[in-house]
Copies of this chain bind each other. A is one copy, B any other.
């Protein structure tokens, strides 16, 4: 059990956790950019393709500031990202969309899940790290998905049941991989478990996950899907 401390980058324990967090975010963005671009290949029209490519590129625009943040911490960003390649690649492998609808739902649900997660945790971190993470959360261009999916369900009601299951699977897989990471990266876990940062205890963590889940359910509803 580590004593609870204020978030301070001069503390090596806290610093190690932040290196992990930024490494995970960095590889997550790179990976999201690649997968969204791949998914864009399935778009039924050039306009739809462009929407997904715009999401992909918005993700990529966040990579450089994250890598710079890691360099400022005196860390090789590639070393910092390496431990998260496995779990993040596994997440994408287990949630590889079978068609355009699944790509859309994954883009919307997955992207926003990650944003919620980072937004919730960022407020508890040191100002420098918070700034880096929050500046990567400014733009949300995924709202076009709502119209597309609702129109798809309108045209074919069977789509709704399948996509509702799909949304659950994305959420479940995200949790599974987060747990894998947590099991392997002690310093990161200690932050996520509220053992390092003052003011964020286990009850606080539970609240965070509760809010993230709640917003996921709301988004599924917005798409016209039951959770």
Pick the contact of A38 from B27, B38, B49, B82 — CB < 8 Å? B38
A223 at the B interface (CB under 8 A):
no
Interface centre among A27, A37, A46 (most CB of B within 10 A): A37
CB distance from A64 to the nearest CB of B (A): 8
Q: Evaluate contact between B37 and A50: CB separation under 8 angstroms.
A: no
Q: Evaluate contact between A78 and B34: CB separation under 8 angstroms.
A: no
The dominant DSSP class at the A interface is helix
A175 at the B interface (CB under 8 A):
no
Query: When each residue 60-100 of chain A gets 1 if its CB lies under 8 Å from chain B and 0 otherwise, what string results?
Result: 11010000000000000010011001000000000000000
Q: Which residues of B contact A82 (CB under 8 A)?
A: 46
A3 at the B interface (CB under 8 A):
no
Q: Which residues of B contact A57 (CB under 8 A)?
A: 33, 57, 60-61
Per the bound structure, the CA–CA distance linking A49 and B67 in Å amounts to 14
Q: Evaluate contact between B30 and A78: CB separation under 8 angstroms.
A: no
CB distance from A77 to the nearest CB of B (A): 9
Pick the contact of A34 from B30, B37, B85 — CB < 8 Å? B37
CB distance from A7 to the nearest CB of B (A): 28
CB distance from A55 to the nearest CB of B (A): 11
Q: Which residues of B contact A41 (CB under 8 A)?
A: 34
A56 at the B interface (CB under 8 A):
yes
CB distance from A47 to the nearest CB of B (A): 5
Q: Evaluate contact between A50 and B38: CB separation under 8 angstroms.
A: no
Q: Which residues of B contact A40 (CB under 8 A)?
A: 34
Pick the contact of A37 from B33, B49, B63, B85 — CB < 8 Å? B33
Pick the contact of A53 from B30, B50, B81, B85 — CB < 8 Å? B30
CB distance from A175 to the nearest CB of B (A): 25
